[in-house]
Amino acid sequence: MNVQTMLKVERLTKSYRAAGGTLTVLREVGFELGAGASLAIVGPSGSGKTTLLGLCAGLDRPTGGSVVLAGVSIGELDEDARARVRNAHVGFVFQNFQLVPTLTALENVLVPIELRGAGSRTAEEEARALLGRVGLGARCDHYPVQLSGGEQQRVALARAFMNRPKILFCDEPTGNLDDDTAAAMAELIFGLNRERGTTLVLVTHNLDLARRCQRVIRLKGGTVISDEQIGV
């Protein structure tokens, strides 16, 4: 494998046991992504986008095929080992944010650092700076319930960047945002991609966001129906 490869997916398949037999939601998906690259995954609802993202990020295990993330074949690892790989390399922005309701915005952004046992004054300063960058400098002490959907999404993005991830996965990062806020969110994501060389994998319905990626993969019924390089 090329040393510059950040993510390599081969013949990836995911099936669930269903009442009438087996439900295959991803079938033989494959692609390879270099470090610092940006990929959009698009397709209709139910086509397997969230499932694919979760498998690539090591949140879930495949039924068949392999995922190599930052040089580690994660499909065979147990949950603890996958958690270590995620903590070292991965940022993830979930479709429904998944903020901790009992923690403030600042504390939520600090969660990845606490997990590493590396909490410090510097970490808190960085968390405040990231919240400032997503336009929430004045909201550090607010709880998720006190924030709008778009604001919670921005907290989730700040949290994802706290680890300085090599690769960032975002599931519909502009799904709940109005056009202006969505554009600001896109600026942040691509700005950090440029500045830090963070590899991006975005699931999105937003065509502007998809077009800003170097590559667009379209899923339908769990298979790749097109894989297009965007001219820059």
Ligand X SMILES: Nc1ncnc2c1ncn2[C@@H]1O[C@H](COP(=O)(O)OP(=O)(O)O)[C@@H](O)[C@H]1O
Tell which residue, 189, 208, 8, 179, has the closest CA to residue 91: 189
Which single residue is written with the structure tokens 């390599």?
8
Q: How remote is the C-alpha of 67 from its chain's centroid?
A: 15
Residue 51 interface partner, choices Mg ion, ligand X, none, CB cut-off 5-8 Å depending on type: ligand X
Which single residue is written with the structure tokens 């006190």?
146
Count of beta carbons in the 10 Å neighbourhood of residue 39: 21
CA distances from 25 to 22, 30, 157, 172 (A): 10, 14, 27, 19
49 binds ligand X (CB under 6 A): yes
50 binds Mg ion (CB under 5 A): yes
Q: Which stretch binds Mg ion (CB under 5 A): 28-36, 45-53, 154-162, 206-214?
A: 45-53
Nearer to ligand X, 45 or 102 (CB): 45
- Least spacing, CB of residue 27 vs ligand X, in Å: 11
Distance CA 32, CA 131 (A): 32
In the numeric block, which tokens belong to residue 174?
């502009």
Residue from the set 6, 7, 9, 25 that interacts with ligand X by CB under 6 A: 25
Residue 104 interface partner, choices ligand X, Mg ion, none, CB cut-off 5-8 Å depending on type: none
Q: Which stretch binds Mg ion (CB under 5 A): 11-19, 46-54, 161-169, 191-199?
A: 46-54
Residue from the set 24, 38, 50, 163 that interacts with ligand X by CB under 6 A: 50
- Least spacing, CB of residue 41 vs ligand X, in Å: 8
Task: Report CA Rg, the chain.
Answer: 17
Tell which residue, 4, 31, 5, has the closest CA to residue 225: 31
Which residue ranges make up the site for ligand X (CB under 6 A)? Answer: 16, 23, 25, 43, 45-51
Q: Residues in the site for Mg ion, rule: CB under 5 A? A: 50
